[in-house]
Amino acid sequence: MKMDSKVHGTLFKNKDGSEIPEDEFIVFRPSDNAVPETLVFYRNLLIKQGASQEQVEAVIELEFRVGNWRKQHPERCKVADVQLGELRT
């Protein structure tokens, strides 16, 4: 079953080049106004769960990149939405 019904495509892991099946990924875009706070929550949850320092630092870097993107593209930032007919299963 496809996990994220708003997007489609093929993703590959950097570490080994293997493909990630569509039932194993979801997509959050930097334009979504909920993403910055979601990343902070996720980082704190990783710490609470004992994730590696490398994983925590990767999320901190992602927070930084998302913040920079949002500063450069404020006109594209918005509350997330979905249009009728946009979702695909």
Give, for all 89 residues of the chain, the pLDDT tens digit: 778 778 888 999 999 999 999 999 999 999 999 999 999 999 999 999 999 999 999 999 999 999 999 999 999 999 988 776 666 66
Is 85 within the bounds of a domain? no
Which residue range(s) make up the domain with 41? 11-76
In a domain, 38, yes or no: yes
**Domains in the chain: how many in total?**
1
| Burial zone of 18 (CB within 10 Å; 0-12 exposed, 13-18 middle, 19+ buried) | exposed
* Within-domain flag for 66: yes
Retrieve residue 4's tokens.
């994220």
Q: Count of residues for the chain?
A: 89
Q: Is residue 70 part of a domain?
A: yes
Domain presence at residue 83: no
Is residue 36 in some structural domain? yes
Q: Does 60 reside within a domain?
A: yes
In a domain, 29, yes or no: yes
